[in-house]
Structure 1
């Protein structure tokens, strides 16, 4: 359950839910809420030998579009720049293949949270 009382607490809960889901699918957490000048990476995970930059998006309603639609071109650019900075600063990972995933969490018509994991989200 995600607490809706503040955007920070609901964001943290959504990230924890996403991380748990990805770990159940055998991804390993490298970094969480990694920050630099260009932005923040919610989760950085390892999928076998691939570094996965995961953007977690949560919406408690779909009035202005769902969580997936909120990752627009500008947000993708910021995430790409932050990922390049991560790879420069964390050089042990810069020879690994990389990809960008999005975990979108939205309520269904009955209010139950639905998690949608989109692999290679920036390729579509």
Structure 2
């Protein structure tokens, strides 16, 4: 006998997050900012997406939820610190290193797949 089970909430959220990242990556690529890395991981954490912007890079945190407001509310200070740390490691792989122009965007994705990008969403204090 085969038992049919529903995916766990964690599995469903994981797949929804991957789909949201794909939507955002396509949006940046169609705007002339091709993807350099997806889920780039360094010793200090992970960056959801990294896109090329001329000679610079864009670190993109993707937040998926029922609404854009709910997605935005899920962005924490700790996550931004993780992006800073991992971003510094990523920049070591770039020709200009720490002198590379950088922008941090937050891409909010709702249940309908609509994307709202907040450019320069977070800057160091």
Instruction: Give TM-score, length-normalised by structure 1.
Output: 0.81
Check the 8 A contact 1:51/1:93 in 2, yes or no.
no
SS of residue in 1 equivalent to 2:48? strand
103, 109, 112: which one aligns with 1:105: 109
Unaligned runs of 5+ in 1: none
* Alpha-carbon distance between aligned partners in 2 of 1:104 and 1:93, rounded to the nearest angstrom: 30
Deviates more, 1:98-107 or 1:65-74: 65-74
Check the 8 A contact 2:91/2:100 in 1, yes or no.
no
Matched, 1:38 2:7: no
Matched, 1:71 2:75: yes
The corresponding residue for 1:56 is: 62
Check the 8 A contact 1:50/1:98 in 2, yes or no.
yes
**RMSD of equivalent CA atoms:** 2.0
Instruction: Give TM-score, length-normalised by structure 2.
Output: 0.80
* Alpha-carbon distance between aligned partners in 1 of 2:49 and 2:122, rounded to the nearest angstrom: 16
Unaligned runs of 5+ in 2: 1-8
Counting matched residue pairs gives 113
78, 92, 95: which one aligns with 1:92: 95
**1:52 Cα deviation after fit:** 0.4
